[in-house]
Every structure is written in C-alpha cells, then in structure tokens.
A and B are shown apart, each in its own frame.
Chain A
C-alpha cells in the first residue's frame, strides 16, 4: 500500500474509533405521539421512532443499558423496550398512571410514582412483580434515589412535600414541606443533600440529609419574563456537582446554577416549554426536551451556548443518554 493510502486508511480507522467512542444514543419519550425517538449522539440524526404505550413520560435505562423502562401513564404500566431489537419485550405492573421512575443502584428495584393513587410502587424488574406499595402524598411525581441507594425521595404535587423513604424498609423517615407543586429531585454526588424543584412555587429547595433540614433556596428571575412563566421542572447535575441545570418550563430557559453559591450564573434560551434535561456521557453537551416546540435543544456546555434544535416527536418529555 502506498504511504499516502496507508495514512488515509489510518486516519479513517482513527475517525471510526473516535466515532465509536462517542457512539451514544439519545432517547426521548414523546407524550402525545406515544413513541420513543432514538437519536445518534454524534450526528443528532434520528435513528428510529418506536411506538410504545400511551402517554410515555418518565424513562430510565436498565443497569446493563440493554433496556429502557418507560412509564406509559395512560396504559397504566411500565414497558420494557429492548434497545437492541427495538421491541417492547415486557410489561411491568406499576399501579395506575405511572409518571416517573427511578432505578435503585441494585439494578433490580424500580421505584415508580403513581400519580392517580398516591402510591410509590416498588417493582422487581427481574421477576416482574410488585414488591411493595408505599402510600405517600397526593399526586406523587418526582423520584430521586440517593447515590448510596439508602433513601428514595418522592415529591407529591398537591401535598407540596418531599417524602424521604428508607429504601430497605419502605418506611417514610421524613416529610419535608417544599415549594408549591414540587416536581423533580436531584441528589448531590456526595449524597449529603438534594434539590427539589417547585413548578408553581418557582423555586428550588435545598435539603440536607443530616436532620432532613431545609438549608437553602434558589430563586429565578428572567428580565421581561413574568414570574408565572418561570416553572422549574427537570434538573440535571454536572458530573462534578458544581453546576445544576434547571428547566424552567414556559420561560423557555435553562438556568445554570452554581451549586456552591446557589446563584444563577446564566439563563439559556431553548425551545418552548422545556421539561427535562440530560447530559452527554462526557458532559460536554446538554439536551433538553421542549414540549410545545416539539424539539430537542442542544447546549454546548463549555461555550454555554444553544447550538442546535432537533425536531423529534409530538410533546417530547423525558430524555436519557445511553452510552
């Protein structure tokens, strides 16, 4: 082989390897289409659109990343999508109207919030059985499991509380009053505190595990945007825990919060009614689902700029990145 050609082949091989190294997939649930959209993490092209149960919202990867657990709220079940064959291979019992879920670090127990019957359902994903139902407040919503797996925090939309559940015993160990209509829960990587977003309250509440005390708040203000449009919902924490990204709903902004000072560093204009967010595996990009503009916004984290809008299905809601 002539040297020039060898170099070309080598360069191609390198490019291919680099491509493989970043070959992650972005998975989006489309609430009104009843589909999951899979996008290539590099090109942002749609790989496929998979029909699933009705009103898919909360989604989570299995521990081996082979499956996606999907809350199909109006089908009253959790569906298991095989990400190799792209077939729904199992229906898990979940209780009525599952909205959000979180997988325990043991990879076996799935904690599901049932919006309609005020329960958190614990499902064994291997055996497909309900292990336990835990009564919580009215309209359970957000779910967050501490990094060590000891505690599960569930928020209830109407009771305005964060309920701390002992993952082993299923007992509620603390009920903490937070802002109006609490939504998501984000744990700090050290497991010593967590944030709760409040959609109507328009704030975040910071809670320390020691004594389960409220130790701070984050407030938002976007010039020219009325306060009622600022509705904090989904959150994502940077890998080092230094920055918290918060979706602000119909303010069409993502707030970037410095977790040390609890101050907003900046607001980024994304698509309409931003619901949820996920970081790429290397943390360089942030993806947001925008429920009214039906697209995914792509944020370059280093530059703090919105670089792309990618149309997906109708009313995109949940988003996860599969490495």
Chain B
C-alpha cells in the first residue's frame, strides 16, 4: 500500500504546481483583459502589402 502514499504525494505536488501557476498568472495580470488577447491572436503579423497591380491602378487613378 506504500505505493498509494507515493501516488498521493505526486498528485498533491502536481496540484500545488498548478495552483502556483494559476496564482502567478493571476498576479501577472493575465485575467485583467479577457477580450483583447482573443482577438489579437487572430491578426496577421504582417500588414498586407498592396500588389503591384493595385499600386499601378492607384497611380493611374491619381492621374
């Protein structure tokens, strides 16, 4: 039955680690704004460059 004692200690340790991680994430402000990050991750990193054709059309229009 000593195996149970070992398992219990492992499970408790893991649970404590999770608690610690949660407390850390709380304190570092990760729950302060729950909306913006959900949108931010969907943005492309690079802003779209206009294709050559588009630039040409634009130049045409300006004339």
Q: Verify that A and B bind, or say they do not.
A: no
Residues of B within 8 A of A (CB): none
